[in-house]
């Protein structure tokens, strides 16, 4: 593509936030030539946000502050820095930026926090640098960084197909309350997919080329039907996550015993997403899980939430 103009960028400072997500259903099919599994997944964005402040500077740099425990690399493997490099390459520009990320999404928890960092960074730098790619091209660029990045840009609730980047917004009514139970420890997404393949092979389970979407779950979302949503929460990766992290299954069982309509592993884990009736129930289940020593931390979040949005610019 033609290099973008090298005229000075029109903004000095841009603040963008992008949401974390949970997968309300995650059905996994066969692997494609790039090593990605085909998915039929329903993403829901929740109101825990990664906020990226991008300020004009001569070089690229990154700082983090966080409301959640854990560490992230600050080197070139960081997804926000990779997003910045990719935008520079795509547009043929060499601008710099001082990036600051404030984190609310559990780190390496299966909630797409790193993807939200990349999404917010692409949107912020596109404005800071005046590269003007716009949402559709930014989403395509985001897909090169990770399968969950385009959804962090789109937000709300959406069906993801292909490797998760082929998105269609899902009609929803009402708001859903989630208790996010964090059991500690990390799970690597590729390792969970590998374990899933191993289990499928060992059990002789044939994987579909493209899994079907769950029509009952779409009905639950459009009809604001909590009971039906609880009945349709599903994650094909859960059994693999349970096998790799023995602390997870007891959390799901305890949350349901404590009265939650349903609970499941979020994405590739280890965060457990517990569907609750309201914040009071979230608080009582959270207290029960903490008392039993099953989790390190619990957060309450609501879905759905908007995708990457500009909060301030000057
Ligand atoms: O795209 P992302 O970086 O989140 O994916 C990390 C890894 O998870 C991929 O390299 C792949 O091993 C696995 N994955 C997959 N199928 C998907 C998404 C991710 O196998 N649809």
* Ligand 1 neighbours (beta carbon < 6 A): 35-37, 39, 146-148, 163-164, 189-190, 193
Residue where a domain terminates, one of 119, 154, 189: 154
Over residues 199-232, the pLDDT tens digits come to 999 999 889 999 999 999 999 999 999 999 999 9
Over residues 168-192, the pLDDT tens digits come to 999 999 999 999 999 989 899 999 9
Of 160, 167, 172, 163, which is closest to residue 213 (Cα–Cα)?
Answer: 160
DSSP 236-254: TTHHHHHHH-TTHHHHHHH
Which CATH number does the domain housing residue 203 bear? 3.30.70.890
Over residues 101-133, the pLDDT tens digits come to 999 999 888 999 999 999 999 999 999 999 999
Average pLDDT of the residues in 66-73: 84
Token match 């993403």: residue?
43
Tokens of 290: 């903490």
Could you give the residue numbers annotated as active site? 21, 148
More confident residue, 263 or 70: 263
Instruction: Report the predicted TM-score, pTM, of the whole model to 2 decimal places.
Output: 0.94
Residue 298 lies in a domain: yes
- 195 in the same domain as 129: no
Alpha carbons 81 and 99: distance in angstroms, whole number: 9
Residue 22 lies in a domain: yes
β-strand pairing of 60-66 with 96-103? parallel
- pLDDT at position 183 is 94
- Using alpha carbons, list the distances in angstroms from residue 158 to 64, 150, 185, 222: 29, 11, 28, 12
Cα 203 to ligand 1 centre (Å): 22
Q: What value, to the nearest 5°, has the Cα angle with vertex 255 and ends 39 and 243?
A: 50
Over residues 233-277, the pLDDT tens digits come to 999 999 999 999 999 999 999 999 999 999 999 999 999 999 999
Residue 116 lies in a domain: yes
- 130 in the same domain as 23: yes
- Nearest residue (CA) to ligand 1, atom 12: 190
- 84 in the same domain as 50: yes
Cα 42 to ligand 1 centre (Å): 16
Over residues 188-198, the pLDDT tens digits come to 999 999 999 99
Whether the CB-CB separation of 65 and 50 falls below 8 Å is answered with: no
Residue 7 lies in a domain: no
Residue 167 lies in a domain: no
Whether the CB-CB separation of 147 and 36 falls below 8 Å is answered with: yes
Please identify, by atom number, the ligand 1 atom nearest to the C-alpha of residue 162.
21
- pLDDT at position 6 is 46
Cα 96 to ligand 1 centre (Å): 29
Cα 164 to ligand 1 centre (Å): 9
- pLDDT at position 7 is 46
Cα 106 to ligand 1 centre (Å): 18
- 149 in the same domain as 20: yes
- 109 in the same domain as 54: yes
> Which one of 38, 111, 148, 193 would you pick to mutate in the ligand 1 pocket, going by the greatest count of ligand atoms within 8 A of its CB?
193
- Nearest residue (CA) to ligand 1, atom 2: 146
Q: How many angstroms separate the first and last alpha carbons of the chain?
A: 29
- pLDDT at position 109 is 87
The SS3 call for residue 144 is helix
- 214 in the same domain as 109: no
- Nearest residue (CA) to ligand 1, atom 15: 36
Of 313, 307, 274, which is closest to residue 118 (Cα–Cα)?
Answer: 307
- pLDDT at position 8 is 44
As a whole number, the mean pLDDT across the chain is: 94
Which CATH number does the domain housing residue 139 bear? 3.30.230.10
Please identify, by atom number, the ligand 1 atom nearest to the C-alpha of residue 164.
21
Residue where a domain terminates, one of 154, 184, 213: 154
- Nearest residue (CA) to ligand 1, atom 4: 146
Count of domains forming the chain: 2
Residue where a domain terminates, one of 92, 122, 154: 154
Residue 184 lies in a domain: yes
Q: Can you give the C-alpha Rg of the chain in angstroms?
A: 19
Average pLDDT of the residues in 88-95: 95
**Confidence class of residue 9 from pLDDT cuts 50, 70 and 90?**
low
Residue 168 lies in a domain: no
Tokens of 273: 């997403």
Q: Which structural domain range is residue 256 located in?
A: 176-303
The SS3 call for residue 20 is strand
Alpha carbons 5 and 172: distance in angstroms, whole number: 41
> Which one of 29, 36, 267 would you pick to mutate in the ligand 1 pocket, going by the greatest count of ligand atoms within 8 A of its CB?
36
The SS3 call for residue 114 is helix
Residue 35 lies in a domain: no
- Nearest residue (CA) to ligand 1, atom 10: 190
């Amino acid at each position: 593509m033609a290099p973008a103009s090298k005229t000075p960028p029109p903004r000095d400072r841009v603040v963008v936030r992008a949401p974390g997500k949970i997968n309300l259903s995650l059905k996994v099919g066969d692997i494609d030539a790039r090593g990605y599994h085909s998915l039929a997944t329903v993403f829901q964005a929740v109101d825990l946000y990664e906020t990226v402040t991008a300020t004009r500077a001569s070089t690229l740099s990154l700082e983090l502050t966080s409301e959640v425990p854990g560490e992230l690399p600050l080197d070139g493997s960081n997804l926000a820095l990779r997003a910045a490099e990719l935008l520079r390459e795509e547009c043929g520009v060499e601008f710099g930026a001082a990036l600051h990320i404030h984190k609310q999404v559990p780190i390496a928890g299966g909630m797409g926090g790193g993807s939200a960092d990349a999404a917010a960074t692409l949107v912020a730098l596109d404005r800071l640098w005046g590269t003007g790619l716009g949402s559709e091209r930014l989403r395509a660029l985001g897909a090169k960084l990770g399968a969950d990045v385009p959804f962090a840009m789109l937000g709300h609730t959406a069906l993801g197909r292909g490797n998760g980047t082929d998105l269609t917004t899902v009609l929803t009514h009402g708001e859903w309350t989630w208790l996010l139970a964090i059991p500690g420890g990390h799970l690597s997404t590729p390792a969970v997919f590998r374990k899933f393949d191993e289990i499928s092979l060992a059990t002789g389970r044939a994987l579909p080329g493209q899994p079907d979407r769950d029509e009952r779950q779409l009905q639950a979302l459009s009809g604001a039907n909590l009971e039906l949503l609880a009945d349709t929460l599903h994650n094909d990766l859960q059994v693999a996550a349970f096998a790799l992290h023995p602390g997870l299954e007891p959390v799901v069982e305890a949350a349901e015993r404590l009265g939650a309509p349903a609970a499941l592993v979020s994405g590739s884990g280890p965060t457990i997403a517990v569907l609750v009736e309201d914040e009071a129930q979230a608080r009582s289940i959270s207290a029960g899980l903490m008392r039993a020593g099953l989790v390190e931390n619990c957060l309450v979040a609501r879905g759905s939430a908007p995708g990457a949005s500009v909060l301030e610019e000057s």
